[in-house]
Amino acid sequence: LQGVIAAKGTPEEVARIAHGLAADLLKAYPVPLAPGKAPALARGATLFAQNCASCHGMTGDGHGPDAAKLTTPPIAFSEITRARQRSPFA
Ligand code: HEC
């Protein structure tokens, strides 16, 4: 990977090698990539309302009451394209 980066390989080539290394790492050190059971939605809703909604908004649209005070705007979880690029592990 270092050699390909130093030689200014294509982004696709760098990504292919980096993803291969990540896969090898997970084989060597298996860690869970997602929860083993479905999350408790009611508990999650309570925690979200208490700890996250002030910035991310009750609907996750990024327009909570504290959002305007921030120089970096909170992420809108309702932005479907961005959400699809995220994983439970990330
Ligand atoms: C004080 C305001 C604030 C609170 C409270 C807050 N966030 Fe955020 N959050 C932000 C901001 C601002 C960003 C964007 C940071 C950036 O772009 O660098 C962000 C980004 C994120 C992201 C990244 C999303 C992505 O697509 O990259 C996740 C996930 C997230 N917050 C989850 C949470 C959760 C879960 C909670 C509650 C436990 C929470 N946040 C509480 C302000 C907040």
Ligand 1 site-directed mutation target among 43, 55, 80, most atoms within 8 Å of CB: 55
Coil vs helix vs strand at 6:
helix
Q: What is the model's pLDDT at position 78?
A: 92
- Going residue by residue through the chain (90 aa), what tens digit of pLDDT does each one get? 999 999 999 999 999 999 999 999 999 999 888 788 988 999 999 999 999 999 999 999 999 999 999 999 999 999 999 989 987 766
What pTM was computed for the model?
0.75
Specify whether the backbone of 57 is left (phi greater than 0), alpha (psi in -120 to 50) or beta: left
Ligand 1 touching residue 67 (CB < 6 A): no
Q: How far, CA to CA in Å, does 11 sit from each of 17, 18, 21, 37?
A: 10, 10, 15, 36
pLDDT at 89: 67
